[in-house]
Amino acid sequence: MVKGQTIAEKILARASDLPRVEPGDFVEASVDLVMINDITGPLTVETIRRLSKPQIWNPDRLVIVLDHQTPADRVQSAENHKLLRSFAAEFGVKGLYDLGEGVCHQVVPEEGYVKPGMLIVGADSHTCTYGAFGAFATGVGSTDAAAALALGKLWFKVPESMLIRVSGRLSRFVTSKDLILHIIGRVGVEGANYMSVELKGETVEALSVDSRMTMTNMAVEMGAKTGIIEPDGRALQFLKEAAGGEDFQPVRSDPDAYYAETLEFQVDALEPQVAEPPSPANVKPARELSEIEVDQALLSSCTNARLEDLRVAAEILRGKQVKKGVRMIVIPASRKIYLKALDEGLIQVFVRAGAVVAPPGCGPCLGGHMGVLAEGEVCISTTNRNFTGRMGSPKAKIYLASPATVAASALTGRITDPREVAS
């Protein structure tokens, strides 16, 4: 008896013009969208230019986002930006998003490029974020991105699928960031190597679009090829508004689809979580780390700097002051989010509390600028990685947490369960 197919298998079969595929198959698949940024893009451009006949198979299927080192922090960054602007003009790429527009993984779905069932590659490891909308989205290297741009195709090994089913209700100030950290802590950084991780269950269905993007964004931190959430009405409405009213046909897993592994999580009793350096899998409840003092509290990145994240942080900070000696930095994920936060008075809350609000972009997440760390400093951050040297000095320490936990910790100067300071 022929078994059913998962979302990932159906998308790769469609893109490869095959009736079905099996885990372990190698396929040549047509890609629907390619994304590059100002860190990975220059090598992609150089590779394209070295071809005997430089070409892009479809300039409308390329999105270029300048976000990692914007505004330019050094001459080389400025040269990279200039190169990408010139390339976009030369090849007629309309999808160029310059400095201040936002982080690539927020901008791409926000601007209507993502559709359910798409095969998307991006020259950035957190491209898996778009799986929140039912796409197969994965990170590739700069030269693979160049091949996809030139040919419109790329080879893939069909991944096995892991099903993660979550039940229960998240408590107040316990968020999807706490949930995904909890999952990574159990699965490990290699527990889902080259797998498509499908996230399902009543808890996932209850999450906002912002929260779902946090979940799929961090799928790669357990080794996954991609993370996918089957799109429902909430996700489809987001995409419909972003794409100007277009209707979509989501891809769904068959009821009898085969999963190499199935994990169950119950979250009624889940507490705010924190990942200790140097791994996203070193996860403990925030209350167990309350003696750790922090120098910096960072609310930013493609993981957690959306409107929902800014709202919860502002709720905790409103009418209070960041502790003296702590630097709090807030970087909205996009210009659109920044404007909405201004309209809602959230930016004023941050500034009055003593935080610094920086222009949309990646900032210090990758050790770029606008908040890199010195030797011996400790940062609690809403970002997705806490590897040694990730945000500056290799002798600094990074603790990963939710926006609520980061805001609470900024007030006390130590890692703090947000429920302790909430009014």
* Residue pLDDT, tens place only, 149-165: 999 999 999 999 999 99
d(CA 142, CA 144): 5
CA dihedral 230, 236, 237, 242 (to 10 degrees): 120
Tokens describing residue 294? 């922090």
Q: Is the pLDDT of residue 259 over 80?
A: yes
Residue 415: which of 300, 314, 277, 301 has the closest Cα? Answer: 277
Average of per-residue pLDDT across 28-43: 98
Q: Is 374 exposed, middle or buried (0-12, 13-18, 19+ CB in 10 A)?
A: exposed
DSSP 8-state code for residue 382:
S
Confidence of residue 249 (pLDDT cuts 50, 70, 90): confident
Residue 126 pLDDT more than 80? yes
- Strand, coil or helix: what is 47? helix
User: Looking at residue 24, what is its pLDDT?
Assistant: 98
Cβ(4)–Cβ(89) below 8 Å = no
> 200 vs 368, which has greater pLDDT?
200
Is the pLDDT assigned to residue 64 strictly greater than 90? yes
DSSP 8-state code for residue 274: E
Interval 120-144 mean pLDDT: 98
Task: Say whether pLDDT at 204 is over 80.
Answer: yes
- Report the SS3 class of residue 49: helix
| Mean pLDDT to the nearest integer, 47-71 | 94
Q: For residue 110, give the amino acid letter.
A: E
Considering the chain, what is the average pLDDT of its residues?
96
Give the pairing type, strands 33-37 and 119-122: parallel
Tokens, residue 318: 């409103």
Peptide bond into 285 cis (omega under 30): no
Three-state secondary-structure class, residue 177? helix
> CA-based Rg of the chain, rounded to a whole angstrom?
21
- Residue 156, C-beta contacts closer than 8 angstroms, at least 6 positions apart: 12, 26, 27, 29
pLDDT band of residue 248 (cuts 50, 70, 90) is confident
Q: What span, in angstroms and rounded, lies between the C-alpha atoms of 328 and 357?
A: 9
Check whether 13 has a pLDDT greater than 70.
yes
Half-sphere exposure (Cβ direction) of 22: Cα atoms closer than 13 Å:
2
- Assess whether pLDDT exceeds 90 at residue 148: yes
What's the rounded Cα separation, in Å, for the pair 331 and 337? 10
Question: What is the distance between the alpha carbons of residues 289 and 274, in angstroms, rounded to a whole number?
Answer: 8
* Predicted local confidence at residue 423, as pLDDT: 66
Residues belonging to the chain:
423
Q: Running DSSP on this structure, what letter comes out for residue 276?
A: P
Mean pLDDT confidence for 254-269: 97
Q: pLDDT, tens digit, for every residue of 74-110?
A: 999 999 999 999 999 999 999 999 999 999 999 999 9
Residue 196 clears pLDDT 90, i.e. is over it: yes
Q: What is the pLDDT of residue 1?
A: 67
DSSP letter at 293? Answer: B
* pLDDT for position 422: 82
List strand residue ranges (DSSP E) for 351-405, in order.
Answer: 356-357, 378-381, 397-400
DSSP 8-state assignment for residue 73: -
Q: How far is CA 256 from the centre of its chain?
A: 30
Return the pLDDT at 235: 94
pLDDT at 38 > cutoff 70:
yes
Q: Which domains does the chain have, with CATH numbers?
A: 7-264 (3.30.499.10), 274-420 (3.30.499.10)
Query: Could you read off the pLDDT of 15-32 as tens digits, one per residue?
Result: 999 999 999 999 999 999
pLDDT at 289 over 80: yes
Give Cβ neighbours of residue 294 (< 8 Å, ≥ 6 apart): 326, 378, 379, 380, 399, 409, 410, 413, 414, 415
